[in-house]
Amino acid sequence: MQAYRGRNFVTGSGQRAYIGSFTSAGGAGITVAAVDPADGSLTVTGRTDAVPDPSFLALSQDGGVLYAVSEQEEHGQAAAFSLRDPDAPALLAPAVRVGGGAPTHLCLYDGHLITANYAGGSVSVLSLDPEQAPAALRHVLRHEGDGPHPERQEGPHAHAVTPDPRGRTLLTVDLGTDSVRVCALDPATGELRVRRQTALRPGSGPRHLTFHPAGHHAYVVEELGAGITVAAWDGETRELRPTGHTQPLGEPGTDHPSEIVLAPDGRFAWVAVRGRDEIAVLAVSPDGGRLELTGRTGCGGSWPRHLTLDPAGRRLYAANERSGEVTWFDLDPATGTPHRSGTLPVAAASCVVFR
């Protein structure tokens, strides 16, 4: 069956999950798994260790290319894999250095590949070649500042890059400076410029950000503050403004939230909380402006680094880094409560994406 059309069309039938892991901690690199449509279970169908420590993954819009950061401390890289054979990701070109250390996140934006580089606190802009592989480093935006945490906020630590709902600006989340920068990209030069900078609670250590489906609110995961901050988003002025509502999820210094995902209809949110090793369940108000903690479920392992929903929004998958597995949960459509359904061993698992 021909599943996608385009330069990098994918052949083969059935859904696949691509699981990133830390090779430096015993992981296989990128693990490919077939997804059973009946129960969501995963069965390994392939692997590649072509790049070290592919800790975060993303797919091209047509599903034909898989992108990965290589989270190397000194010389971080980005790479692209063809999914022409969905069970055998093949490097399209040699990995490209991003001009920063320990890239933790990436996204496609306005015809470029963007990476957030934790070490040194920078955001990199890479051009793409005709095969959609990263080609050249065009610009590095270096964050400045620090925060009150003596060990984690001695300087900037960019942790995530996320386009706004209209795709007009790029938001960069910095754990070291307790801030989110709203940036504009000049596609002609590749230069990324800061339009606005939003200050968050001192010592909160923002890690990731996601938007409500309606596009008027964003939710910022606080790794150091152990909570979630709600911010209003103005799509016209492109201003991010904290509303003052923060939902605690654990104890600062002990618990470290890592990832948030929202239901497609925006009614529920789920947050992975390391330390407690739980998935927090949150009810979202109809306007998206408030979150209420309604329950907690064990993550099925230790140190849940990443969460994702299957494309239908019916199941939740957790990448448990330290215990080394991906665990999946059926979701109660009325309450959002996850019910553990199965587990696949994946050493040093760090990220799961679906095609």
Find, among 313, 310, 311, the residue nearest to 268 by Cα. Answer: 313
**pLDDT for residue 1:** 25
Residue 91, amino acid: L
Task: Enumerate residue ranges in the chain where pLDDT < 50.
Answer: 1-12
Residue 23 backbone dihedrals phi, psi, to 5 degrees: -65, -30
Q: How deeply is 286 buried, as exposed, middle or buried, from its count of CB atoms within 10 A (0-12, 13-18, 19+)?
A: exposed
Residue 57, amino acid: L
263-302 residue pLDDT tens: 999 999 999 999 999 999 999 999 999 999 999 999 999 9
Task: Determine contact, residues 211/220, Cβ cutoff 8 Å.
Answer: no
**pLDDT for residue 5:** 28
Q: How deeply is 139 buried, as exposed, middle or buried, from its count of CB atoms within 10 A (0-12, 13-18, 19+)?
A: buried
pTM for the structure as a whole: 0.95
Calpha distance 353→326 (Å, rounded): 12
Half-sphere exposure of 293 (CA within 13 A, CB side): 18
**pLDDT for residue 195:** 97
**pLDDT for residue 93:** 97
Task: Determine contact, residues 6/64, Cβ cutoff 8 Å.
Answer: yes
Q: What is the dihedral of CA 237, 239, 243, 247, to 10 degrees?
A: 130
**pLDDT for residue 13:** 63
Which structure tokens are listed for 294?
């309604």
- Tell me which residue has tokens 């907690």: 296
CA-derived radius of gyration, the chain: 19
Task: Determine contact, residues 122/100, Cβ cutoff 8 Å.
Answer: yes
Query: b or e along 16-35 (b: 16 or more beta carbons within 10 Å of the residue's beta carbon)?
Result: bbbbbbbbeeebbbbbbbbb
**pLDDT for residue 210:** 98
**pLDDT for residue 21:** 98
**pLDDT for residue 4:** 27
Calpha distance 319→354 (Å, rounded): 13
